[in-house]
Amino acid sequence: MKHLSAGQTAELRSELEHALSKLQKSLVVSDQAVRPVELDQTAVGRLSRMDSLQSQSMAKGLRERETVRLALVRDALKRIDDGTYGLCAACGGEIAFERLMVFPESPTCAGCSG
Ligand SMILES: [Zn+2]
């Protein structure tokens, strides 16, 4: 990561650590949201049960995206320690600092992310 200065790397590392703690917190919350919907006929009417099934599936989709991002963030932090951070996993080229500021967890350059 020669194209990144120590200051830039430190900035990106703090971005990643911030994202990591945010994602971990959010995943704990969504853990509760994806629990099986209670099928209590008396307490919950048919409509509100469908509502909760719908919001459950939305929570699942969000959770999947967050899980993917969490893995990328963890991987990026590991690559900072390895000294390979900022290099495209596909073409080996340098990932622009500007792109990393927007997607600090990105493993590929703008050209390869398609
Ligand atoms: Zn690339």
Containing structural domain, residue 69: 6-113
Closest listed residue to residue 11, CA positions, set 94, 101, 71: 101
pLDDT of residue 6: 95
pLDDT of residue 114: 67
Average pLDDT, the chain: 89
> Whole-prediction pTM value?
0.79
Ligand 1 center–CA 7 separation, angstroms: 23
Ligand 1 center–CA 12 separation, angstroms: 19
CATH number at residue 54: 1.20.120.910
Specify which residues 10 forms β-bridges with: none
In a domain, 1, yes or no: no
pLDDT digits (tens, 9 = 90+) for 28-81: 887 777 677 665 555 556 667 778 888 888 889 999 999 999 999 999 999 999
pLDDT: is 49 or 14 the higher one? 14
Ligand 1 center–CA 9 separation, angstroms: 19
Cα 112 to Cα 11, 54, 75, 84, 109, distances in angstroms:
24, 35, 18, 17, 5
Ligand 1 center–CA 21 separation, angstroms: 28
Ligand 1 center–CA 103 separation, angstroms: 14
In a domain, 39, yes or no: yes
pLDDT: is 37 or 10 the higher one? 10
In a domain, 94, yes or no: yes
Ligand 1 center–CA 16 separation, angstroms: 20
pLDDT of residue 39: 59
Ligand 1 center–CA 65 separation, angstroms: 22
Cα 70 to Cα 7, 10, 30, 36, 93, distances in angstroms:
24, 19, 14, 24, 23
The structural domain count of the chain equals 1
In a domain, 62, yes or no: yes
pLDDT of residue 54: 87
In a domain, 82, yes or no: yes
Ligand 1 center–CA 110 separation, angstroms: 7
